[in-house]
């Protein structure tokens, strides 16, 4: 299986967008940083699941080529980035739960400083 320049660029695009989102979140509020961390956690989780599924489906007697491994990495990354951060995704649910705790922490800190 050959990897064309177009396919490689398409696979890299979600990672570049994720890096850009991370940079924007770093400049933003605590909630934006928390949301980005939750999204990244979900992407890592999905990538791990996809890698395990791929590894278990490949016959142990077959040796994957370096090109196939690279392609799988880019494919897993693209799918994981696309799946993470959707409105009802695991990352978003985790964010909503942690954001409640962040709000409570802000309220306690505000009351302590008054």
Q: Which band of pLDDT confidence, cut at 50, 70 and 90, is reported for residue 14?
A: low
Does residue 108 contact residue 40 with C-beta atoms inside 8 Å? no
Tell whether the torsion through CA atoms of 73, 75, 79 and 81 is positive or negative. Answer: positive
- Residue labelled with tokens 């008054």: 114
> What's the pLDDT at 22?
64
CA 45, 65, 6: angle at the middle one, nearest 5? Answer: 70
The 8-class DSSP code of residue 89 comes to S
**Amino acid 5: pLDDT:** 47
Q: How far apart are CA 21 and CA 33, in angstroms?
A: 10
Q: What is the average pLDDT across 13-34?
A: 67
pLDDT at 24: 54
Share of the chain above pLDDT 90, in %: 23
pLDDT in tens, 32-73: 999 999 999 999 999 999 888 887 766 554 666 778 888 888
CA 41/CA 98 separation, integer angstroms:
13
Whether the pLDDT of residue 8 is over 60: the answer is: no
pLDDT of residue 1: 43
């Amino acid at each position: 299986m050959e990897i064309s320049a177009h396919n490689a660029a398409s696979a890299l695009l979600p990672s570049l967008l994720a890096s850009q989102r991370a940079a924007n979140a770093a400049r933003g509020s605590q909630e934006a940083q928390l949301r980005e961390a939750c999204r990244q956690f979900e992407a890592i989780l999905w990538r791990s699941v996809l890698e395990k599924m791929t590894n278990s489906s490949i016959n142990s007697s077959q040796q994957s080529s370096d090109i196939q491994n690279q392609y799988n990495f880019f494919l897993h990354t693209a799918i994981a980035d696309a799946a993470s951060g959707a409105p009802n995704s695991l990352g978003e649910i985790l964010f909503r739960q942690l954001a409640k705790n962040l709000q409570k922490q802000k309220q306690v800190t505000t009351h302590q400083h008054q």
